[in-house]
Amino acid sequence: MTNLLAPLQSLQQGRWFKLICGASYQHLPAVRSLTLAYTLAGADCIDVAADPAVIAAAQAGLLAAKDLVRDAQERGFGFQGNLPLLMVSLNDGEDPHFRKAEFNSSNCPPDCPRPCEKICPAQAIVFNNIKDSFSGIVAQKCYGCGRCIPACPYDIIDTVSYISTPEAIASLARGNAPLIMPTGIDAIEIHTQVGRLAEFQRLWSALASGVDKLKVIAISCNDHEGLIDYLQAIYKIIAPRPQVVIWQTDGRSMSGDIGDGTTIAAIKLGQKVLAANLPGYVQLAGGTNSYTVPKLKAMGLLRSTEYRVPSTEWDFTAQDSGVRSENLGLRTQDSGLSTQHLVLGTHNYISGIAYGSYARVLLSPILEKLENQEVSQTSIKATGRLEEEPELLWQAVELAHSLVSQLKSQRYP
């Protein structure tokens, strides 16, 4: 069972690190390997597609990490065996995170320079694949970034979107499919947009029977003129049931691997939501990369005081937690909530960062080597596991740690 102390402590400290595997990313070997490497590197949350096979792949990565605690420590990594929370992403309407590109490769002219293949960060576009001579988009690898669409000189690439319907979620809640209700899923994230309050309400109602079993609810939204009013309306719908609420500010979706400047949109949106004093935690996403932590630090948006987990049951004060005192003081007799409901406070710092495309691309050379070892021109062997290739494993963990440690190793005065 997941030990929740370390992840929630990281959230309270402002050191929360979330790996986004991708709401529509279904490449199972990569999900397993990414989960394993970033868990050993110290991630607090692994966010995956709401697909039973993807969830199982992530859980397999978590189990593999449990067997490598001592090895990680011997190599100087701080992993103590506290597994990250496992989160699944849902949506209440059309969203670029929940789509896949598609095209008919037979429509591609033979002399096309194939800019789509070159620009795809997930290496999801292939021509004459070694395994099966397939040409086109490998659906499991595509996570919907959409960069191939404007790159195509013949305009033959389209996208297919999907929505987490209330009916499907209700079916899952009744136990007709192994997704959210069973143990092992600690959190959900709902992607929404301003103007979809009714759609959000329907999705939330469908989730009602399982919400109490979750440890974290995350709400992800892009910027909009009416964003703050919309988030306040959402909080009225979901309160007081979640123990922890995270507001994910999706600055520039799926862009962190493009360049340093993409992080500015995420930070600006984070500042906007922080200023609204919403109950809960603000976590950046959408354009996050290796530039994000240095920029936050320079702007004074990272937590700047030492924090110690109180000995009592989350009975912290404004002085030792950085939570604004005017938002504290509520107890069970005041609100019907227990002292464990951390959503009661607001914070004047960014509580965490979620990394998606940048974190995945960072490890892509290692994962590509692993895949190349599985497939050659003359033979194809069963999918290899990262832990069965120690050299590649610890290279991957080292790369993952280079990103995680930016946030985890901050020294406070």
Which among 306, 341, 357 is the end of a domain?
A: 357
Query: For residue 20, is it within any domain?
Result: yes
Lowest mean pLDDT among 128-132, 151-155, 256-260, 329-333: 329-333
Q: In degrees to the nearest 10, what's the CA dihedral of 88, 5, 213, 334?
A: -120
Which among 357, 382, 408 is the end of a domain?
A: 357
In terms of domains, do 40 and 178 share one? Answer: yes
Does the pLDDT at position 271 exceed 50?
yes
User: Which of the given ranges, 21-35, 129-143, 171-185, 272-286, has the highest pLDDT on average?
Assistant: 272-286
Query: For residue 345, is it within any domain?
Result: yes
Does the pLDDT at position 275 exceed 90?
yes
Percent of residues, the chain, with pLDDT higher than 70? 74
| Residue type (1 letter), 238 | I
Give the separation between CA 196 and CA 162, rounded to whole angstroms.
Answer: 16
Summary mean pLDDT of the chain: 79
Domain containing residue 103: CATH number: 3.30.70.20
In terms of domains, do 238 and 350 share one? Answer: yes
In terms of domains, do 20 and 89 share one? Answer: yes
In terms of domains, do 138 and 194 share one? Answer: no
Query: For residue 372, is it within any domain?
Result: no
Does the pLDDT at position 351 exceed 60?
yes
How much is the pLDDT for 197?
Answer: 96
Query: For residue 144, is it within any domain?
Result: yes
Are 133 and 122 in contact, with CB atoms under 8 Å apart? no
pLDDT band at 251 (very low <50, low <70, confident <90, very high): confident
How much is the pLDDT for 22?
Answer: 87
Which among 143, 162, 181 is the end of a domain?
A: 162
Query: For residue 376, is it within any domain?
Result: no
Q: Residue 300, exposed/middle/buried by CB under 10 A (0-12, 13-18, 19+)?
A: exposed
In terms of domains, do 43 and 191 share one? Answer: yes
Print the domain residue range for 141: 96-162
Query: For residue 407, is it within any domain?
Result: no
Which pairs count as long-range contacts for 164-168, CB under 8 Å and 24+ apart, including other chains? Answer: 164/50, 164/90, 164/91, 164/92, 164/98, 164/203, 166/202, 166/203, 166/205, 166/206, 167/206
In terms of domains, do 299 and 353 share one? Answer: yes
In terms of domains, do 198 and 345 share one? Answer: yes
Name every residue whose Cβ is closer than 8 Å to that of residue 137 and which is 6 or more positions away in sequence. 100, 101, 102, 103, 124, 125
In terms of domains, do 222 and 328 share one? Answer: yes
Report how many domains make up the chain.
Answer: 2
CA-nearest of 255, 219, 253 to 237 is 219
Query: Strand 187-191 to strand 216-221: parallel, antiparallel, or no bridges (unpaired)?
Result: parallel
In terms of domains, do 154 and 290 share one? Answer: no
In terms of domains, do 24 and 130 share one? Answer: no
In terms of domains, do 292 and 216 share one? Answer: yes
Does the pLDDT at position 143 exceed 80?
no
Of residues 328 and 285, the one with the higher pLDDT is 285
Query: For residue 194, is it within any domain?
Result: yes
Does the pLDDT at position 323 exceed 50?
no
Query: For residue 106, is it within any domain?
Result: yes
How much is the pLDDT for 164?
Answer: 61
For residue 193, which phi and psi values (nearest 5 degrees)?
-145, 150
Q: Is residue 100 within a helix (H) or strand (E), and if so which, with residue range?
A: strand 99-102
Does the pLDDT at position 337 exceed 70?
no
Give the separation between CA 245 and CA 341, rounded to whole angstroms.
Answer: 9
Quick one: average pLDDT of 398-411?
Answer: 88
Domain containing residue 327: CATH number: 3.20.20
CA distances from 112 to 105, 117, 146, 149, 160 (A): 11, 11, 19, 15, 24
In terms of domains, do 229 and 294 share one? Answer: yes
Quick one: average pLDDT of 156-171?
Answer: 64
